[in-house]
Amino acid sequence: MTRRRQRRRRRQSGMVHKEEVDFQKRAARIRTIAAATHRRREQARRDARQAVVRGRRRLDSWELVRTRTGTMQTTGIRTAGGAGATAGGGGGSSTHLVVLYVATAGLQGNALGSDEEEITLLVYVLIDVLQNKVLDWQQYIVRPMVMEDSCTPGTGSDNPAVAGSSGIINDAALAHAPALTERNLREHGIPLQQAIEQFETWWSSMSCVTSGATPRFVVDGQAPMRQCLHPEACNKDIELPEHYNHFYDLRKDFVACYSSHGELSTLGVQEMLQYFGLPPDTDNDFHVKEIQDMVTVIQRMIKDGHVFQNPEVINIVLEPGICSKDEEVENDCVVRARGLPWQSSDQDIAKFFRGLNVAKGGVALCLSPMGRRNGEALVRFINKEHRDMALKRHKHHMGARYIEVYKASGEDFVGVAGGTSGEAHAFLSRGAEVIVRMRGLPYDCVAKQVLEFFMSGLKSCHVLDGEDGVLFVKKPDGRATGDAFVLFAKEEDAVKALSKHRDCIGSRYIELFRSTTAEVQQVLNRAIDPKQVVQPPPRMVPLTSMIPQHIITCGTRKDCVRLRGLPYEAVVEHILEFMGEHSKNIVFQGVHMVYNAQGQPSGEAFIQMDSETSAYACASQRHHRYMIFGKKQRYIEVFQCSGDDMSLVLTGAVTPPSTTPLPSPGGTMLPPPPVAIFPPAAAMLPRGPPQFATPYPPPIFYWPYPSPPVSPTNYYTPASVSGIAPIPQQAALLAPAECLQLAPGATVPTSTPTAADARIEAYLPRVELEKRMAALPPPQTECNPFVEVFMV
């Protein structure tokens, strides 16, 4: 028992000793933290005293300038704080600041603008820097555009479809500003452009502001200007005044004033008040309490002698630049944008990122291995901060499409935009503002003909540096590709040049597109490097025909026509209507729709005519005519071709090296369709012995030299468009109306006839239909001699 007690006492004494050691360690740690805090406070007090002394000296110099000149000139602040203290944009009043606060209908704080919600509140507070007091303020309730669209007769605030449960105002926005309800926005809100115009009028009417001075804005962080105001103004086609391109970031100026090592860089307005030991102001006339807190922080900084200088700058114009393969690009400055419309240019992408500063030549449109724009682009920003803000625009919209934004590396950007061609570098170094790409040039075209092309007509324009401003793209063996790049010095000249789209040089029409320095580099890199050229597939055993060969003609007789540019929703009926009087010359089962490798319509079709004369007449009279499809108006290209050309595409065969390519502009070869490309027609035919093909169809390939996109066929399909039903594949037959005489008791489902189009649908076996047509007597009555009969 005694030993047990001794052991218990030893354990208790050891535990007490351990607790004493732990307590001493915690006390030492607390003393260290307290000493460090005391040193920081002492340093802050010394810095504040020095700032007050500097501020008094500045005020004394201002009093001296006012005494001598009687006015408050910008040179006063230059005398005290250097030339950098003038307002951004030059010439602005340096004695007044405008605190700008922006609120949206969605997320607030650091996430402001990341949800693409519209602005609902703008607040401007005018502060006199010399007297350090608030002179006046203006706040504007902004009505979102989505609410303006709903404010139609019969859709007032009492309508539950647009009020209360419509969700126009986010819960986070209501918690941030409870007064900004949907009813308040609808009754008292004004459009954004009107709010900006009213502020400009109010600013001009202020007697305390020097005539001609521009406001200097102070905002909380980067998001209000870069992520909200500028992007929304761009989307609504509002041209902001020049002084909105310069602003002071309150957070950065706070760090510059009170922190030498950047440890205060993440502080918000509330943390700034806590740093000063000031309570937040809850009694004010603003809709949002944070506005008064911003004013309190700014006045305290002015009292401590801080001068707002070195404003942030927003670049509106995308400047051209050249990237070489040897250039090093930081990995934290590049993003990849996906889902871009195929016709978008570098300027459109720069507008999508409006408010963020893109580096010179920082937009590189990506091309597929076939040389077509693939809906992606690499964008390089001036620093990591702007790249991080760009990532917050993930799934923001460009028109009706949402754009995906991801991180990318500097190597990715250099791989797309970098070039090694000295000829391209010399060409791009001429200082052109706009680059235009020409496609479809005659192979023997020279620079003089290009200059004459742009000089002709009413809208003549001059090419920069004459013949030196024209760069032809050539194959590795030196042969021409039919592409060229042309430089223009001004945007006005480029507009005139692009108006000549589809004008002719000789007998060829020329296509014109806006281009970029990165695209010039990509095209020339592929032209001079055979490794980057997509080679045609090796010769292999041809696949078994995907549709019976007796349905498709063959031979070199050009008794077929090829249609390009069809709407994706178009079916055989629309093609026959477009063909007009030439429809009567179509042979039995002579309309063949072309699908791509994904089974989606490619926008092309082949039509078999009864003779070469009919095909020639159709191609010459219907070429570049318009097809009206709903609200769409598409011009259709019609080319005369042979049965071999059509069979090459529709059967999925591999052409031998000696075969002449399909005679279409640019040498484009369409992808072979999948096996079940004509299921209705194939289902009608008698089944033979099973036929086996290779597991995979031959690869899709185009002419291996890059060319601008002529349609988004390869990248966007109507499967993503809501409301469009799958397109049935039908083979068309034209027969006299009397062939629809049915046997007694047969049913004929009919559609409602109209004055323009009376249509009858008759379901007959093919053999029976051919017999009826053979025994058909001549028509006895005068009627429309042709109807459309589909084999289904």
For residue range 99-158, what is the model confidence (pLDDT) as tens digits?
999 999 999 988 999 999 999 999 999 999 999 999 999 999 999 988 776 555 444 434
Residue given tokens 């249609």 in the structure block: 563
Please give the backbone phi and psi of residue 649, each rounded to the nearest 5 degrees, phi first. Answer: -85, -45
Among the ranges given (477-481, 596-600, 763-767), the one the predictor scored with the smallest mean pLDDT: 763-767
- Fold for 422-528, please state it: Alpha-Beta Plaits (3.30.70)
CB 218 within 8 A of CB 248: yes
- Fold for 560-651, please state it: Alpha-Beta Plaits (3.30.70)
Q: What is the pLDDT of residue 543?
A: 35
CB 398 within 8 A of CB 344: yes
Distance CA 207, CA 534 (A): 69
Nearest to 759 by CA among 767, 751, 769: 751
Structure token pair of residue 530: 């055979």
Among the ranges given (12-16, 109-113, 519-523, 652-656), the one the predictor scored with the smallest mean pLDDT: 652-656
Contacts of 371 (CB under 8 A, 6+ apart): 523, 526, 702, 703, 704, 705, 706, 707
Please give the backbone phi and psi of residue 465, each rounded to the nearest 5 degrees, phi first. Answer: 65, 25
CB 129 within 8 A of CB 85: no
Structure token pair of residue 387: 């790249």
Q: What is the pLDDT of residue 265?
A: 67
Distance CA 471, CA 460 (A): 20
> Same CATH topology for 422-528 and 560-651?
yes
pLDDT above 50 (res 694): no
In angstroms, how far is CA 252 from the centroid of its own chain? Answer: 31
Structure token pair of residue 792: 């289904």
Q: What is the pLDDT of residue 57?
A: 52
First-residue to last-residue Cα distance in the chain: 104
- Across the chain, what does the average pLDDT equal? 75
Q: Name the pairing type of β-strands 470-474 and 373-381.
A: unpaired
Average pLDDT on 53-81 reads 41
Strands of the sheet containing 480-488, edge to edge, are: 470-474, 480-488, 434-439, 511-515
Nearest to 740 by CA among 783, 693, 703: 783
Q: What is the pLDDT of residues 217-243, one digit of tens each?
A: 999 999 999 999 999 999 999 999 999
pLDDT above 70 (res 766): no
CB 707 within 8 A of CB 367: no
Pick the CATH number of 334-417 from 2.60.40.10, 3.40.50.360, 3.30.70.330, 3.40.50.2300: 3.30.70.330
Count of CA atoms in the C-beta half-sphere (13 A) of 104: 22
Average pLDDT on 648-675 reads 45
CA angle 708, 713, 719 (to 5 degrees): 150
Nearest to 608 by CA among 662, 563, 571: 563
Helices H, strands E: what count in the chain? 23, 26
CB 491 within 8 A of CB 434: yes
Contacts of 428 (CB under 8 A, 6+ apart): 320, 322, 435, 517, 520
Is the pTM here over 0.95, yes or no? no
Asked if CATH classification 3.30.420.10 holds for the domain at 96-148+162-313, the reply, yes or no, is: yes
Q: Is the Cα dihedral 724, 725, 726, 732 positive or negative? A: negative
Q: What is the pLDDT of residue 777?
A: 61
Q: 713: pLDDT confidence band, cut at 50, 70 and 90? A: very low
Contacts of 583 (CB under 8 A, 6+ apart): 576, 734, 786
pLDDT above 70 (res 51): no
Q: What is the pLDDT of residue 378?
A: 96
CB 471 within 8 A of CB 427: yes
Q: What is the pLDDT of residue 159?
A: 38
Structure token pair of residue 246: 């310069």
DSSP string, 615-669: HHHHHHHHTTEEEEETTEEEEEEEEEE-HHHHHHHHS-PPPPTTSPPP-SGGG--
Q: 261: pLDDT confidence band, cut at 50, 70 and 90? A: low
- Domain parsing of the chain, residue ranges: 1-55, 96-148+162-313, 334-417, 422-528, 560-651
Q: What is the pLDDT of residue 125?
A: 95
Q: Which residues of 279-303 are buried (b: 16+ CB within 10 A; e: fewer)?
A: eeeeeeebbbebbbbbbbbbbbbbe
Please give the backbone phi and psi of residue 113, each rounded to the nearest 5 degrees, phi first. Answer: 85, -10
Q: Which residues of 161-199 are buried (b: 16+ CB within 10 A; e: fewer)?
A: ebbeeeebbbebbeebbeebbbebbbeebebbeebbeeb
DSSP bridge partners of 604: 564, 594
Q: Is the Cα dihedral 111, 116, 117, 123 positive or negative? A: positive
